[in-house]
Amino acid sequence: MGLHKLRLAAAVPVTFSSRLFLKPFTNTLTLGLFSRHLQPRNKPLLVRAFSASAAVQDIPATQTSDSSVAARPLWKAAIDFKWIRDNKEAVEINIRNRNSNANLEAVLQLYENMVNLQKEVERLREERNNVAKKMKGKLEPSERERLVEEGKNLKESLVTLEEDLVKLKDELQHVAQSIPNMTHPDVPVGGEDSSAIRQEVGSPREFSFPIKDHLQLGKDLDLIDFDSAAEVSGSKFFYLKNEAVLLEMALLNWTLSQVMKKGYTPLTTPEIVRSSIVEKCGFQPRGDNTQVYSIDGTDQCLIGTAEIPVGGIHMDSILLESALPLKYIAFSHCFRTEAGAAGAATKGLYRVHQFSKAEMFVICQPEDSESFHQELIQIEEDLFTSLGLHFKTLDMATADLGAPAYRKFDIEAWMPGLGRFGEVKNKLYSFVSDHQNGILVSTLSLLL
């Protein structure tokens, strides 16, 4: 029976991406959402699979890294810099199509500097080893003294160069992690207006009376209270009241029950996670432009999406091939700073700081990723069709893809109160780096 190893080790920070540049491990399934670098451990990695079944195996102790490195808890995205260098033109085109500000030339220059410095470090190490071998033989005192001095000088030079190499590698990682993921070949090239319509369902309803938007309806029917929430928590928070509470709970319960019929395991998730997990899932937990709420004095953050804690369930795990696919439907509250969100288009229950969401998450064989992607989209379209909504599914163009996304579908419903289409869910992502990583994520935001 085949085994597939799932490694949640580093992912791409915000301007971070799950990358095509990541080479697959032989006979392993790695999370395409995450890059592949395990923090070294000096003891066997215990499987942390969601189910303690025979589908899970321990990673042998012989596979762990040198304990001497374990003191450095720094993770690094396993970026294939050689692939980037050898495919420079394709990467340049992708950066341009994605409207990214990634500095490819800086990455390649830093990589070349790192390679040259690495060669120098290896040369000095070889010289030091040769000196050590000579010291084992019978030597004249003067010759031994000369070799001792030479070995001392080599050691000092090595310490300096190795420190420089570490700094250079860190700088390279920092700059390179802004390079966006490569893009599915069928994704339309261009800005949002270039997005392709997968399908459009229904038509706008006609009303024989003046239409009210959700803000007016919420006020007239005593369903939403923004004023009290602003006093208690700040702007862009809200209380749901009366029938609105029952409506949200009904929508979420209905969604869970419908998706469970498709073989998805229901979850509720932790809503506080370690900052490292947030970063490994492709989000920036710190910085001026972060959408993540960080908890001061800790290494923890509030989640902005359930994909973060769901993605961590099987990190450092081995799953039997026969256990795949793993399909989850996870409910959580989500928290986002929504930095920069302002204007008429964000009034009311748009771009709020806290909301409820159900999220579908699939871990599958790489060759099955396309079919499961279609399954996720179809489930969402069926749900919104059942709700009687007039909506369209958009295959979003390259410039509208976030850095980690390989492909993204939006579903937008017609909103009579606004007289336009608007998102009724968050994005559908297919994190599939060159089809080497079978992880798919779909999110449903069913907040009114």
pLDDT digits (tens, 9 = 90+) for 131-174: 888 888 888 888 888 888 888 999 999 999 999 999 999 899 88
DSSP 3-state of 112: helix
Helix axes 369-386, 243-260, angle to 10 degrees: 140
104 within 8 A of 95, measured Cβ to Cβ? yes
**2 token code pair:** 């085949």
Buried b (16+ CB within 10 A) or exposed e, 237-272: bbebeeebeeebeebbeebbebbeeeebeebebebe
Instruction: Provide CB contacts within 8 A for 49, sequence distance 6+.
Output: 55, 56, 313, 314, 317, 319
Cα–Cα distances (Å) from 305 to 12, 46, 272, 325, 414, in that order, read 16, 26, 11, 21, 24
pTM, whole model, 2 decimals?
A: 0.75
Q: Is cis: bond before 325, omega within 30 of 0? A: yes
Q: What is the DSSP track for 167-206?
A: HHHHHHHHHHTTSPPP--TTSPPSSGGGPEEEEEES-PPP
pLDDT digits (tens, 9 = 90+) for 393-434: 999 999 998 887 888 899 999 988 888 898 876 444 444 333
**Domains of the chain, start order:** 104-176 (1.10.287.40), 192-314+323-444 (3.30.930.10)
Q: Alpha-carbon distance 102 to 88, whole Å?
A: 13
Question: 138: exposed, middle or buried (C-beta count within 10 Å: 0-12, 13-18, 19+)?
Answer: exposed
Strands (E), 298-374: 300-302, 317-320, 326-335, 354-363
pLDDT in tens, the chain (448 residues): 444 434 343 333 222 222 222 233 333 343 433 333 223 333 332 333 333 333 343 334 333 334 333 333 335 667 889 999 999 999 999 999 999 999 999 999 999 999 999 999 999 999 988 888 888 888 888 888 888 888 899 999 999 999 999 999 989 988 888 888 899 999 999 998 999 999 999 999 888 999 888 899 999 999 999 999 999 999 999 999 999 999 999 999 999 999 999 999 999 999 999 988 887 777 767 666 678 888 888 989 999 989 899 988 988 788 888 999 999 999 999 999 887 666 666 788 888 999 999 999 998 888 888 889 899 999 999 999 999 999 999 999 999 988 878 888 999 999 888 888 988 764 444 443 333 445 555 555 443 3
Question: 204: exposed, middle or buried (C-beta count within 10 Å: 0-12, 13-18, 19+)?
Answer: exposed
